[in-house]
């Protein structure tokens, strides 16, 4: 089912995404929003039900992970799904203008940014000196927090990086907190598992 057909309710949208991922896991994917008539209709504007911030990794394509199609998701992708001013502004725009009912932050198994941050914390590599440095610094901060709490595996670091990103969005994007409090937005942190294409829930706000 196209997400545009799902009621504008955070729980319903979350359930639709879970159902789409289950179709992928079981090999029962369906064609979604891919005929010419639907695509032509999107020239008039967009009406996504979900906003997604995810890692840029080529192995975790959002539309495939959730078996959704054209016009269903407003997607922002950065290495390690790190936040900067451009990403925060994009999230702010989407939350203020697109009437989406769910915000998803999706990390994934075998994340290169997390692996690099872990190698830095273990003393196995130095911080890059060029443009990549902020990525490793920000992800390393999440990994260090996880380690302080006794969670010291790579999957732990991946989960903590997602949870920290969710917390920062809620704290730094006023519309996120406002819409959560109003009950019109749910926020979900996920970890995508490359090994079987399933998604692991890390944190939930406003949905269950």
Per the structure block, which two tokens stand in for 179?
Answer: 């819409």
Q: Torsions phi, psi of 190, nearest 5?
A: -130, 160
57 is in an annotated binding site: yes
196 is in an annotated binding site: no
205 is in an annotated binding site: no
**Which whole-number Å values give the CA distances from 9 to 51, 101, 111, 120, 167, in the listed order?**
14, 6, 31, 42, 22
- Percent helix, strand, coil in the chain, to 5, is 50, 15, 35
Beta strands in the chain (DSSP E): 50-55, 73-78, 102-108, 186-192, 199-205
55 is in an annotated binding site: yes
Query: Which residues does the annotation place in the binding site for Zn(2+)?
Result: 55, 57, 108, 111
Query: Which residues does the annotation place in the binding site?
Result: 55, 57, 108, 111
């Amino acid at each position: 089912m196209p997400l545009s057909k799902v009621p504008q309710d955070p729980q319903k949208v979350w359930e639709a995404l879970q159902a789409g991922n289950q179709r992928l896991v079981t090999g029962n994917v369906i064609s979604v929003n891919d005929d010419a008539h639907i695509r032509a209709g999107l020239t008039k504007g967009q009406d996504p039900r979900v906003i997604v911030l995810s890692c840029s990794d080529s192995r975790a394509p959002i539309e495939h992970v959730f078996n959704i199609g054209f016009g269903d998701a407003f997607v922002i992708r950065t290495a390690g799904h790190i936040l900067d001013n451009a990403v925060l502004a994009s999230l702010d725009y989407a939350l203020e203008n697109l009437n989406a009912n769910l915000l998803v932050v999706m990390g994934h198994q075998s994340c290169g940014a997390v692996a690099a941050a872990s190698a830095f914390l273990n003393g196995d590599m130095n911080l890059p000196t060029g443009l990549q440095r902020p990525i490793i610094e920000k992800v390393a901060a999440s990994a260090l927090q996880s380690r302080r709490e006794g969670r010291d595996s790579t999957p732990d670091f991946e989960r903590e990086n997602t949870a920290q990103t969710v917390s920062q969005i809620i704290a730094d994007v006023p519309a996120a907190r406002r819409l959560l409090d109003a009950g019109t937005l749910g926020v979900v942190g996920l970890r995508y598992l490359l090994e079987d294409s399933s998604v692991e829930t890390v944190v939930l706000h406003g949905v269950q």
